[in-house]
């Protein structure tokens, strides 16, 4: 007789949970997905644009409803169901239906953890005042929009100058509100953008009227009705504000996994092997809760972005649904990020100089300025490229690109070069990059940067 289908429980939604559940079904498993929230599949990265009313033809952030996933993907979905315990030895989980506060036990052969990450808090007095928001899930987005629509908001303080903070500051400006960014560095994108590369974005932010201040909030002040009215900073300043948006990163939701005996890695996310399996034999992890290894050097990192979530979900599901042996491996992440805000594109791929040196490379960086199209073409813009290479082999380790156009797609070109160990010479001399006067100059900025790296290395090729 044929074996019965493996019963797999996927815990968590967003990007990785539905992707894992659908992949496991494709490989013959019988799958239930549990999500504590009301929505299982939400475009969280669109929150700033949702808040700014810039999602064309779409009224909400829901990507797929539970009913649609059940009908088209073939797994069962239980929203507003919180898994509170997993007993890996007996193969049982305990789940509470939040609508009724009723708990039950279910038995499964294997489990896939997709519990995601939670927004970091400020941990300052007054943080629970009405009008203080995180930027993490659908409920956050809806509450921010409701507050801006119903309250007399004139000035918004955005805490955190990272990618989400910059996008939210732009969303506030687009809604006609004043915005101030607080970041201890006094710069935006300080953790991923070299100071010499930040001038175009900084100038655009300043020209828009958004202030960037090198301060940290130490207290949130509220009125007698509990509504936020001001932010006190570490410099003793009091900034009047009717809304505060906190965008200072995320922390993996590891509590459930840890209680089941899963080990946490050096990055703070769940430690997994290249098959996305944890140290507990019947538990796999994926998405924002899982640690992955960096392809450049093998170092374990936490990289909570949707493309990685989906990749890890597919690998976890293929292996969890395999009856014998292992079906797939996760081949590592090549970190890449980009933002377009205030009319400027900023993109980064691979390692910065600091992270390259921290990883043990003898890193060298070069920086060039070129143009995005041939100079006689209308709309040609300056473009800055900073390339990081290894002095030993000339291997490309990373790059940062800033321009009003063409930065993100050029970073995409760098990703496979970094991942597969291409050198500055190969970039400068061997690649046939697109040339078309309205789109790109005859010598692409990446090629110019590769040539500059060769000269800095003291090599002709």
Mean pLDDT of 217-222: 98
CATH superfamily of the domain spanning 336-457: FAD/NAD(P)-binding domain (3.50.50.60)
Query: Mean pLDDT score of the chain, rounded to an integer?
Result: 95
Say how far apart CA 182 and CA 216 lie, in whole Å.
Answer: 6
Q: Please compute the mean of the pLDDT values over residues 17-29 and round it to a whole number.
A: 96
pLDDT at 4: 84
pLDDT in tens, 190-211: 988 999 999 999 999 999 999 9
Q: Rounded mean pLDDT of 235-249?
A: 96
Q: What are the pLDDT digits (tens) for 127-169?
A: 999 999 999 999 999 999 999 999 999 999 999 999 999 999 9
Topology match between the domains 121-248 and 336-457: yes
Q: Taking 80 as the threshold, does the pLDDT of residue 59 lie above it?
A: no
| pLDDT score of 298 more than 90 | yes
- Confidence class of residue 36 from pLDDT cuts 50, 70 and 90? very high
Q: What is the pTM of this model?
A: 0.94
Checking if the pLDDT of 382 tops 80, the result is: yes
Using the CB atoms, write b or e for 292-316: b if 16+ within 10 Å: bbbbbbebebbbbbbebbbbbbbbb
Q: Report pLDDT digits (tens) over 316-348.
A: 999 999 988 778 999 999 999 999 999 999 999
**For the domain 7-118+251-320, what is the CATH code?**
3.50.50.60
387-396 per-position pLDDT tens digit: 999 999 999 9
Reference 21, options 329, 251, 284; nearest CA is: 284
What number does CATH give the domain 121-248?
3.50.50.60
The stretch 300-304 carries a mean pLDDT of 96
User: Hey, what are 248's tokens?
Assistant: 């200072």
Distances (CA, A) of 239 to 180, 183, 218, 228, 395: 9, 14, 11, 11, 47
- Whether 383 has a pLDDT exceeding 70, the answer reads yes
pLDDT value of position 1: 35
Average pLDDT over residues 31-56: 92
Extract the tokens encoding 434. Answer: 């697109």
pLDDT at 286 > cutoff 80: yes
Locate the domains of the chain by residue range.
Answer: 7-118+251-320, 121-248, 336-457
Average pLDDT over residues 64-83: 95
Say whether pLDDT at 57 is over 80. no
Which pLDDT score is estimated for 460?
52
pLDDT band at 413 (very low <50, low <70, confident <90, very high): very high
Q: What is the DSSP string of 22-44?
A: HHHHHTT-EEEEEESSS-SEE-G
């Amino acid at each position: 007789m044929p074996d019965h289908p493996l019963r797999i429980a996927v815990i968590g939604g967003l990007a990785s949970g539905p992707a894992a559940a659908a992949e496991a079904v494709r490989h013959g498993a019988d799958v239930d997905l549990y999500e504590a929230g009301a929505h299982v599949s939400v475009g969280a990265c669109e929150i700033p644009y949702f808040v700014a009313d810039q999602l064309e033809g779409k009224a909400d952030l829901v990507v797929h409803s539970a009913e649609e996933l059940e009908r088209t993907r073939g797994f069962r979905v239980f929203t507003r169901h919180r898994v509170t315990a997993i007993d890996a030895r007996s193969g049982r989980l305990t789940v509470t239906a939040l609508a009724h506060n009723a708990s039950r036990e279910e038995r499964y052969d294997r489990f896939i953890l997709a519990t995601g990450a939670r927004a970091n808090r400020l941990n300052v007095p007054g943080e629970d005042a009405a009008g203080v928001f995180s930027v993490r899930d659908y409920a956050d987005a809806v509450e921010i929009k409701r507050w801006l629509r119903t309250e007399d908001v004139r000035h918004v303080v955005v805490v955190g100058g990272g990618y989400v903070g910059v996008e939210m500051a732009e969303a506030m400006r687009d809604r006609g509100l004043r915005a101030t960014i607080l970041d201890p560095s006094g710069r935006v994108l300080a953790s991923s953008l070299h100071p010499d590369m930040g001038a175009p974005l900084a100038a655009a932010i300043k020209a828009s009227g958004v202030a960037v201040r090198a301060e940290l909030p130490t207290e949130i002040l509220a009125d007698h009705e509990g509504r936020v009215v001001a932010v006190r900073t570490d410099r003793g300043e009091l900034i009047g504000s009717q809304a505060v948006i906190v965008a200072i990163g995320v922390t993996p939701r590891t509590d459930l996994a840890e209680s089941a005996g899963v080990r946490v890695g050096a990055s703070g996310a769940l430690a997994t092997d290249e098959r996305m399996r944890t140290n507990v034999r019947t538990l796999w992890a994926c998405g924002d809760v899982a640690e992955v290894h960096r392809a450049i050097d093998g170092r374990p990192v936490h990289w909570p972005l949707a493309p990685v979530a989906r990749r890890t979900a597919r690998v976890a599901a293929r292996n969890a649904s395999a009856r014998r042996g292992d079906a797939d491996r996760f081949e590592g992440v090549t970190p890449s990020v980009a933002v377009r805000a205030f009319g400027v594109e900023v993109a980064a791929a691979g390692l910065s100089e600091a992270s390259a040196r921290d990883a043990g490379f003898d890193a060298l960086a070069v920086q060039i300025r070129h143009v995005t199209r041939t100079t006689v073409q209308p709309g040609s813009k300056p473009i800055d490229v900073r390339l990081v290479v290894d002095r030993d082999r000339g291997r490309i380790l990373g790059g940062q690109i800033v321009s009003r156009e063409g930065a993100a797609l050029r970073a995409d070109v760098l990703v496979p070069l970094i991942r597969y160990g291409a050198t500055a010479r190969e970039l400068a001399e061997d690649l046939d990059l697109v040339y078309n006067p309205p789109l790109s100059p005859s010598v692409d900025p990446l090629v110019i940067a590769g040539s500059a790296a060769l000269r800095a290395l003291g090599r002709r090729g």
